[in-house]
Structure 1
């Protein structure tokens, strides 16, 4: 079966889908991934065919405008920013998604490409499956991610109201470009939201995050929205894309030379003033007597020339599952991939959220008793110290270890592929 997977976003959006695509290819399917131009090489390194699809979102976030929107920590403002970028890129992206899907017998979309994929699947009369990285549909258990303060526990009516607001905003922002696409496909205009369109077509919406992170939600949804857990890469693919290369021996030697360190990192969020953040990490580490393992990520930190001491190690990319089990806690942005890795390693986790669904995950780790939440926009050394200190004890570590045992860590790609093949049938 020919399967097209159009994607856009950051590496955090593409990484788990590569794990699924490898499993689908292993089963004999012909898979083509549409990836952001800056991530095409990552996909092809995994041995998968890929073609450019969508804008370079990391470049957008790194721009002055993107940095201002990230600094505001406002999901609606970021949604408007992405909408503005799409205004410049919409026609090209419409063509690119059509080209990726041209010969498909099944289309697998993501949270951010399902709207375009829905119209293309309709025009081609082929099945569609959507993959959701976080709760992306109306429910009464949780508000729309990032719209309300993460520590709130709103009543069901308020939660549902946030979804009505967000879904209508998305519909208004992107409707023009979707109807241009529908015109290209010979379809009539549509004024419905992507959520309503997929519901009407009965499209499966597979939740590729762990149900343990969202208690109360699985009970609200039917079999059209099954939960699988987080998708990871198998060993061979990880080696192929370079995840297992680099200085793991050097990092492990440093980690094991003293007390377990606390990990600090901000993943694919481009932090422009990283030197200030690094200074906060050094200050907190000194105050609490911690060793700190600091990941530079996509920041502007110069690993070779940034001053450190014997209690702080600054590193580039590494395989989290090889290092995290040797750490004492983790501080990061709350992207679902990094969050999964820190929690499955049993690490109490401080989520310093930037935007989109990250504040929701920060709120969840706090409510579940496995970490704390600190919005990145309000982070200071004092606040970081107050968030981290209560987590550095054996009682919390045991609680997180117990939670880790509930996470789905095996057979996730296989289960997801089973659901996709069932949808095709």
Structure 2
């Protein structure tokens, strides 16, 4: 099988595509992995060849932050800003994918860019699969508005609301996308439907579960030597085996995830369980103010702080009470934390669920507030919009999840968490591919 995988968006959007590509390649398939240009290096550094398509996703996020219309009092100005954002980069995606698709037998995309990839699959006459990391299709069980009051609205209203949103998005994209459907279209539900009671009865699936990075391959370079105990790191009192790494050591490590991993391991072993905070690729506003607030909240609770800065401009640093690093291996680190405070991206949400750690979801955009509300309904998390976060409010949210009942529910859910989501998604993609000759008489750009 020759598969074209098109996963644009932030790193959280790209990571499932990279994991799926690895799984398909391991099964002997030929895969072209297309990512936003700014994430091609991330994939190739972790052993998965990739090509760029569309626009730089970080630039699109910055454009959204700097567009004054999103904060305008005039609602029509905000609507126009949203519609412009929906269309931005779509023609470039379609053009790039048209060049890539010849020679492929199936096209797969993530939620971001799904419509553009579907158009290209239709034009090529090949089956199409979209990986949904959240239930965005019209149902009665997912409130169309991510708020507690919306849970009291009849389900039929939610179904109608989701249908209206889908038609509005289609209308926004119509000027830049040709109409039509691919010959076969499957929506892979890449999350746990148990988090939305009744959903399995309304969506056809397939339901594969979260596409988690089981082996941590995307947080540790493939060339890294895993014998971490043999590495010497300078501590605050000189160089010593097993000593606490210093701020200078973290800074000297620069962009080396391996050195950071070792530092975090030793920092975790040197003190009490911390609160984990991470906002991925989301805008955190004033990073200096954020770190100061987090330090104050954790100090008031007598807890240490582990902050994964992601795409935020927060310099790495480390002392006995606070560690600031670029990224961490969620599977390794989160089980050692007392709570996880994050933006509510599907990947981070899944990692915290798998770790059995209570969560505070401070949503920024897209599906994040829906995850916050869903987990709050099940007693697994507390949630609030990130823009409303203050030291007092964060403290109150942490109080709500720091109870035996929440910890028990989180632990119980972790015991049921399945880790074969990537493999099951690969099964679904394989089922779409027609039985053809090994040789396809069309030229495609294959890595």
TM-score range, shorter chain: 0.7 to 0.9
Answer yes or no: is 1:235 the counterpart of 2:215: yes
| Structure 1 residue 77: Cα displacement | 8.9
Match of 2:147 in 1: 149
3-state SS, counterpart of residue 6 of structure 1: strand
Match of 2:193 in 1: 211
Check 1:206–1:240 CA distance in 2 against 1; reply closer, same or farther (3 A cut).
Answer: same
Match of 2:314 in 1: 301
Answer yes or no: is 1:417 the counterpart of 2:426: yes
| Stretch deviating more after TM superposition (281-290 or 227-236) | 227-236
Structure 1 residues 263-299: Cα deviation after superposition (integer angstroms, max 9, x where no partner): 1111111323111221221221122222111122211
3-state SS, counterpart of residue 245 of structure 1: helix
| Structure 1 residue 110: Cα displacement | 1.8
Q: Distance in 2 between matches of 1:58 and 1:150?
A: 31
Q: Distance in 2 between matches of 1:26 and 1:340?
A: 24
> In 2, are the aligned partners of 1:2 and 1:30 still within 8 Å (CA)?
yes
Answer yes or no: is 1:254 the counterpart of 2:267: yes
Q: Which of 243, 260, 265 lines up with 2:278 in the alignment?
A: 265
Check 1:126–1:177 CA distance in 2 against 1; reply closer, same or farther (3 A cut).
Answer: same
Match of 1:381 in 2: 391
Q: Please give the TM-score of this superposition, normalised by the length of structure 2.
A: 0.82
Structure 1 residues 216-251: Cα deviation after superposition (integer angstroms, max 9, x where no partner): 1112122xx211111133538434468972323322
Q: Distance in 2 between matches of 1:342 and 1:255?
A: 17
Answer yes or no: is 1:335 the counterpart of 2:364: no
3-state SS, counterpart of residue 89 of structure 2: helix
Q: Distance in 2 between matches of 1:41 and 1:221?
A: 36
> In 1, are the aligned partners of 2:216 and 2:329 still within 8 Å (CA)?
no
Q: Distance in 2 between matches of 1:255 and 1:8?
A: 34
3-state SS, counterpart of residue 328 of structure 2: coil
> In 1, are the aligned partners of 2:315 and 2:324 still within 8 Å (CA)?
no
| Structure 1 residue 161: Cα displacement | 2.2
> In 1, are the aligned partners of 2:338 and 2:357 still within 8 Å (CA)?
yes
3-state SS, counterpart of residue 14 of structure 2: helix
| Structure 1 residue 81: Cα displacement | 4.5
Match of 1:182 in 2: none
| Structure 1 residue 423: Cα displacement | 1.8
Answer yes or no: is 1:221 the counterpart of 2:219: no
Check 1:206–1:158 CA distance in 2 against 1; reply closer, same or farther (3 A cut).
Answer: same
Q: Distance in 2 between matches of 1:313 and 1:345?
A: 20
Check 1:398–1:315 CA distance in 2 against 1; reply closer, same or farther (3 A cut).
Answer: same
| Structure 1 residue 68: Cα displacement | 5.8
> In 1, are the aligned partners of 2:110 and 2:132 still within 8 Å (CA)?
yes
Match of 2:158 in 1: 159
Match of 1:97 in 2: 97
| Structure 1 residue 9: Cα displacement | 0.4
Structure 1: where are the runs of 5+ without partners? 180-188, 191-196
| Structure 1 residue 420: Cα displacement | 1.2
3-state SS, counterpart of residue 351 of structure 1: strand
Q: Which of 300, 317, 337 lines up with 1:287 in the alignment?
A: 300
3-state SS, counterpart of residue 168 of structure 2: helix
Answer yes or no: is 1:356 the counterpart of 2:366: yes
Q: Distance in 2 between matches of 1:338 and 1:15?
A: 11
Q: Distance in 1 between matches of 2:360 and 2:110?
A: 27
Q: Distance in 2 between matches of 1:79 and 1:43?
A: 35
Structure 1 residues 63-95: Cα deviation after superposition (integer angstroms, max 9, x where no partner): 4744768889xxx99996564256563433221
> In 2, are the aligned partners of 1:264 and 1:293 still within 8 Å (CA)?
yes
Q: Distance in 1 between matches of 2:5 and 2:62?
A: 26
Q: Distance in 1 between matches of 2:43 and 2:80?
A: 28
Q: Please give the TM-score of this superposition, normalised by the length of structure 1.
A: 0.86
| Structure 1 residue 328: Cα displacement | 0.7
Structure 1 residues 142-182: Cα deviation after superposition (integer angstroms, max 9, x where no partner): 134xx442563031122012212211210111011102xxx
Structure 1 residues 205-225: Cα deviation after superposition (integer angstroms, max 9, x where no partner): 101112232221112122xx2
Q: Distance in 2 between matches of 1:418 and 1:79?
A: 40
Q: Distance in 1 between matches of 2:383 and 2:149?
A: 8
Match of 1:369 in 2: 379
3-state SS, counterpart of residue 91 of structure 1: helix
Calculate the aligned-residue CA RMSD, in Å.
2.6
| Structure 1 residue 39: Cα displacement | 0.5
Structure 2: where are the runs of 5+ without partners? 225-255, 435-447
Check 1:96–1:228 CA distance in 2 against 1; reply closer, same or farther (3 A cut).
Answer: same
Check 1:366–1:78 CA distance in 2 against 1; reply closer, same or farther (3 A cut).
Answer: farther
Structure 1 residues 86-112: Cα deviation after superposition (integer angstroms, max 9, x where no partner): 656343322112122222111112222
3-state SS, counterpart of residue 150 of structure 2: coil
3-state SS, counterpart of residue 372 of structure 1: strand
**Structure possessing the higher radius of gyration over alpha carbons:** 2
3-state SS, counterpart of residue 246 of structure 1: helix
Paired residues in the alignment total 397
Answer yes or no: is 1:132 the counterpart of 2:132: yes
